[in-house]
Amino acid sequence: TDAPEAASDDAAADVSSGVLSAQQDANTKSMGGSKEARPATCSAPEFSELLASAAKSLESLTASKTKPEGQQPAEGRDLVHAVEMDDNPMIGAGKGVAMGLIVQMVHIASGPCLVRLHLSNSRIEDEGVKVLTRAFARDSFAPRLRILWLSDNDITDEGAQDLGQALATSLKCLTEIFLFRNKFTTEGKATLRKTSSDRTLTLKMRL
């Protein structure tokens, strides 16, 4: 466990304002290229692969060519303001364990300054959503988040309930959330619409 922590610390020291991208097409192939091939739990080799990928992504952060979105405080100028980890099936395969790791890695890179988070097309299910929303609510993760992408995942009405609760109580700065092509029923969509209608928030999902 010491080696991954050391890698994270080294990466955090070199973090600059930019975008964290981790595209893992090879993972899809190794899992058989279909959602049916996804394991029920995250095995040790899969978790190690995810950890190595996240650490490598942190180490390869480059300076952004654009200014961070919105006004950022002086202490946040050397932190990451946008994180893109779309197309990572290992996140969904690892369930809540993998999502917990992602939250920790992103927090190392961004602190309180994250304004945009992309986790689309990563086979994220309700368990992963629960870990993410608990981090928003209980751990003050990404308190300035403005844009959240969770499209093309496997989130059901249970996850919609957790997201609705987070929208109502935690994500006060969020202005846009993208939830296209998940597994919500009419009830789940109604939950999300009700929450978004109570505030200035753009909710985007398939009707």
pLDDT by residue (tens digit) across 135-153?
999 888 999 999 999 999 9
pLDDT at 92: 87
What is the predicted pLDDT for the residue at 180?
A: 95
Cα–Cα dist 159/98, whole Å = 16
Q: HSE on the CB side for 1, CA within 13 Å? A: 0
Q: Residue 80: CB partners within 8 Å, gap ≥ 6?
A: 15, 16, 17, 18, 19, 20, 61, 106, 109, 110, 113, 114
Q: What is the pLDDT of residue 206?
A: 64
Dihedral, CA of residue 85, residue 89, residue 93 and residue 98, to nearest 10: -10
Q: What is the pLDDT of residue 45?
A: 61
- DSSP summary character for residue 105: H
How would residue 191 be classed by pLDDT, with cut points 50, 70 and 90? very high
Q: Say yes or no to pLDDT of 118 above 90.
A: yes
Query: Distance between CA 191 and CA 188 in Å, rounded?
Result: 5
Taking residue 43's Cβ as centre, other Cβ atoms within 10 Å add up to 11
> pLDDT-derived band of residue 195, with 50, 70 and 90 as boundaries?
confident
The predicted-structure confidence for 59-86, as pLDDT tens digits, reads as follows 544 333 334 444 444 444 567 899 888 9
Interval 145-164 mean pLDDT: 96
Q: Could you tell me if 173 and 198 are in contact, meaning their C-beta atoms sit under 8 angstroms apart?
A: no
Please give the residue that has the higher pLDDT: either 122 or 70: 122
Mean pLDDT of 27-53: 48
pTM score, two decimals?
Answer: 0.68
Query: Rounded mean pLDDT of the chain?
Result: 73
- Spatial strand order of the sheet with 202-204 comes to 19-21, 82-84, 116-118, 147-149, 176-178, 202-204
State the pLDDT at residue 109.
84
Size of the chain in residues: 207
